[in-house]
Structure 1
Amino acid sequence: MQFNTFSLLPVVIAIAAGVLVPHSESFAASHAAKQATPKKSKAETPVQAPAAGQTAVAGGAPAIPAKAWVLMDFDSGEVLASANPDEPLPPASLTKMMTSFLVEQALRSGKLKKDDLVSVSQTAWCRGSSTESCMYLPLNSQATVIDILRGIIVQSGNDASKAIAEHMAGSEEGFAKLMNAEAKRLGMTNTNFVNATGLPDPAHKASARDLAILARAIIRDSSDYYPIYAEREFKYNGIKQGNRNALLYTDPTVDGLKTGHTQEAGYCLVTSSKRNGMRLITVILNTNSAQARADETRTLLGWGYSNFEKATPIQPNAVVATPKVSFGKADTVAAGLGAPWTVTVPRGQQVSTSVQVKPDLEAPVAKGAVIGKVVAESNGKPVGETPLIAQADVERAGFMLRSWQRVAKLFGK
């Protein structure tokens, strides 16, 4: 991806210095106005008491000054450390991760195409308010789906989010139903979406754990579009805006995902970082400044990579078990892993495994069939599982042999 270094330099300097702090995540300016740093009142930026986290690491997790936070292992989805992970809180523009995810999945399925045109209604149009984040789509204009997607992810455009919601579901209310259905499918149990933007509503809530689950789904299921989350700027309608995720400019291991801010939600950030083959996801909710959300994320990532490591419980080519098979030409079948398997554990902790085979396994069994699972534990706590795969075919026995096996089984032989 090519970037205009000269035009980006002022943004980088501003973010690194901690001065590019918008009035809200709905950061905006009129077309001709320069970005400014409005004075923040104490009511808008309350200082959160450090939230002590829960973790399996000896010595505990760092105390993060945020209302809720989560550190998740991407590969397993395991929460490695957290504080108030299931409390429903205002998510501000982190909401737009679900908006963009639904667009990405519609592109993958063919329901949308990149060059489809999206109309900008009076309802979706941004009026240029300095308190609203805009892509600056002109009223009654049309934009392509791929430009809309970039406007949502990079520029955090409320207008882009509303326009695509109307395009996909007829209305923002209808789109919110799609959002909630997808949240339920993903297992986001403490989330309720009312709109596509994250603008304040008493019923619009999400938990830190749920937002980490959503981030993991985006990285896993939207691989064709995930690189957009690392783009540092996007220019549309002659207006260039920089991504507000400060870590994209200062940490080369960070490649997403989304910032958020309203007075009610405080400053929020969902981040993904990959170092030495390990990807971690962090969620910070309701801290007191754009600088703080970046600093606290750096602290959490640094602590995570220092205290956790990847372990390989079983080699891919190893025979894990030879479970019995009823009514087959062979009495047993070799079983192992279908793919390389790693788990994330506290550094220095040993990993043990146990095998769970499907009860009453009967022939025929096809090579590659899932016949159970292998569970990994560390310090008495499950840290991951993987399917147990049959390594060979077991054909069903003939009638006479099956009859003999039934008799033998009846007498316990």
Structure 2
Amino acid sequence: MLSSIRSTIVAAGLAMLAFPALAFDTSARAAYVMDQTTGTVLLSKNADDPLPPASMSKLMTLYVAFEALRDGRLTLDETLPVSEHAMSYGGSTMFLNTQDRVNVEDLLRGIIVLSGNDACVVIAEALSPDGSEAGFARYMTQRAKQMGMNSSNFANSNGWPAAGHLMSVHDLAVLADRLISDFPEYYPLFSEESFEFDGRAPSNVNNRNPLLKLNIGADGLKTGHTQEAGYGLVGSAKQGDRRVVFVLSGLDSVSKRAEEAEAVVNWSFRNFIERKVASAETPIAQAKIWMGAKKTVGLVTDGDLSLLFPVLGSQDVQAEVVYQGPINAPVAKGQQLAELVIKPEGLPEIRRPLYAAEDVAMGGFIVRMMTVGGIVLKDMINTPMEAM
């Protein structure tokens, strides 16, 4: 009979830090910080609450546009028309008009650097299933769900205040991670500090990201602000081999956004250290096998496993291996069998899959008979004799 087995393992080959992290004290309404290199979540505050994302939701329009470029449905030098609807948007714009045909590369820079509401709509109408911005917003919502962004719903392409236009900071972090990982050829656009389009808007040529000039490794991604949403930032920074992705939402001023964004980057890099906690091909535990040629099989990660932990002190700590067992033979090498569960103090629980280190064939006739015989004998021993 299968049952959940939880094996406690100590740091025989699993050395980790065990001291609590000093939590980052943010005044943001919601915040999420992830070390992209290891996948470690460093901070999570109201992370899955759907909130107005303002211009940070333009990142989804950009993701869909990058997909279209990759698939050949758009090209960078292709020119697109500007509709009256696109021209009607206020706020931050490229000052486009219906006489324009603008190439896709300029539109992308207009969205990333200038936060152009009109540029988003031009892209949206070009890619929309029905040619409308509303149709594109529905497509964005569907695509977001496919990407695992379950707290996102879009009413437009640019984050203009609208009922039901919502994203969580967790979803925004997922989106930022995917933009960086899926489209490295376009990601450098996010670090451009200025873009002058046709001399039309001399007051709107600078990137609003306050971190780009600070020499702390920041290279993206997007700010946002509306009265309802407050001030927010989806950011990323790389120092050495580590990259951090973070989202802050609901701050009360431009200056507070800049201060907290810089502080969260410094905190992320200075207060955590990367440690290798498991080596590829080295079993960290054994799982019991039912009717196999072997009684157990080693459990391994799918590669060297590194995680982040607080820098203060270190000692061996416990982790758990969880699986439904005993596991029926045969077992194939590389078959996922269990999970490694680590609960570092001050950080969210970490789960990583574990796989069979080798093949285990079905046991022969004698092994099967001995197994069944052992069960019968055990039942006989444990069954009390009826009174005569």
What range is the shorter-chain TM-score in?
A: 0.7 to 0.9
Residue of structure 2 aligned with 1:379, choices 345, 352, 370: 345
Superposed displacement of residue 368, structure 1: 3.0
Cα shift at 1:94? 0.3
Determine the structure 1 residue equivalent to 2:132: 171
Cα distance in 1, alignment partners of residues 345 and 244 from structure 2 = 21
1:103 corresponds in structure 2 to 65
Q: Please, which moves more after superposition, 73-82 or 269-278?
A: 73-82
Match of 2:257 in 1: 293
2:238 paired with 1:274: yes
Aligned residue among 145, 154, 162 for 2:121 = 162
Number of the residue aligned with 1:61: 24
Return the offset for 1:137: 4.5
Which residues in structure 2 correspond to 1:47-196 (within 5 Å)? 57=20, 60-64=23-27, 66-75=28-37, 77-108=39-70, 110=71, 112-115=73-76, 117=78, 119-126=80-87, 131-139=90-98, 141-169=100-128, 170-196=131-157
**Which one scores higher on RCO, CA 8 angstroms, separation ≥ 6?**
2
**Does the alignment pair 1:234 with 2:200?**
no
CA separation of 1:83/1:390 partners in 2, compared to 1, >3 Å: closer, same or farther? closer
- Superposition RMSD on alpha carbons, in Å? 3.1
* Secondary structure of residue in 2 paired with 1:100: helix
The amino acid of 1:379's aligned partner reads: E
**Normalised TM-score (structure 1):** 0.73
Q: Which moved further from structure 2: 189-198 or 91-100?
A: 189-198
Describe the superposition over 1:284-325 as per-residue Cα deviations: whole angstroms up to 9, x where unpaired. Answer: 223233332111111222233333222222223422234344
| Contact 1:162 1:197 (C-alpha < 8 Å) held by counterparts | yes
Change (3 A) 1:360 1:147: farther
Q: Which runs of 5+ in 1 are unaligned?
A: 1-55
Question: After superposition, what is the alpha-carbon deviation per residue over 1:242-262, rounded to whole angstroms, capped at 9, x for unaligned?
Answer: 321121111341111101122
1:246 is aligned, of 210, 225, 228, to 210
What residue number does 2:185 align with?
224
Question: 1:303 maps to which residue?
Answer: 267
* Partner of residue 334 from structure 1, selected from 298, 301, 304: 298
**Contact map agreement 1:122 1:140 (CA 8 A) in 2:** no
Counterpart position of 2:16: none
CA distance in 1, matches of 2:188, 2:195: 13
Post-superposition shift, 1:101?
A: 1.5
Q: Following the alignment from structure 1 to structure 2, what is the Cα–Cα distance between the partners of residues 277 and 383?
A: 23
Kept in 2: contact 1:78–1:383 (CA 8 A): no
Label 1:225 to 1:325 Cα distance change in 2 as closer, same or farther (>3 A).
farther
In structure 1, what is the equivalent of residue 14 of structure 2?
none
Tell me the equivalent position of 1:321.
285
Closer, same or farther: CA 381–207 of 1 in aligned 2, 3 Å: closer
Contact in 1 for aligned 2:35/2:42 (Cα 8 Å): yes
**Does structure 2 retain, via aligned residues, the 8 Å contact 1:176–1:194?**
yes
Amino acid at match of 2:341: V
> Which digits, 9 at most, give the CA deviation of each residue in 1:124-165, with x for residues without a partner?
5436x8x52223445254444444333322222212211121
Alignment length, in residue pairs? 350
2:356 corresponds to which of 390, 398, 406: 390
Alignment equivalent of 1:211, drawn from 172, 178, 183: 172
1:223 & 1:391 partners in 2: Cα distance?
34
What is the letter of the counterpart of residue 170 of structure 2?
R
Give the TM-score normalised by structure 2: 0.78
Deviates more, 1:237-246 or 1:250-259: 237-246
Cα distance between partner residues in 2 of 1:230 and 1:120 = 27
Q: Which amino acid aligns with 1:175?
A: F
Cα pair distance change 1:67/1:244, threshold 3 Å: same
Q: Contact 2:293 / 2:367 at 8 angstroms: preserved in 1?
A: no
Please say which of residues 205-214 and 72-81 is displaced more in the overlay: 72-81
Residue 118 of structure 1, CA deviation: 5.3
* Of 67-76 and 96-105, the range deviating more from structure 2: 67-76
Classify the secondary structure of the residue corresponding to 1:378. coil
Who is 1:7 aligned against? none
CA shift in 2, pair 1:370/1:144, >3 Å: farther
**Would the aligned equivalents of 1:92 and 1:262 in 2 still touch at CA under 8 Å?**
yes
State the AA in 2 paired with 1:85.
A
Inter-partner Cα distance in structure 1 for 2:207 and 2:278:
41
Bigger shift: 246-255 or 403-412? 403-412
Q: Percent identity?
A: 37
Spell out structure 1 runs of 4+ moving beyond 6 A: none
Structure ID, larger Rg: 2
Contact kept? 2:42, 2:347, Cα under 8 Å: no
Give the Cα separation in 2 of the matches to 1:359 and 1:146: 55
Tell me how far 1:199 sits from its aligned partner.
0.7
Amino acid in structure 2 at the alignment position of 1:340: D
The answer to whether the Cα contact below 8 Å between 2:287 and 2:326 also exists between their aligned partners in 1 is no
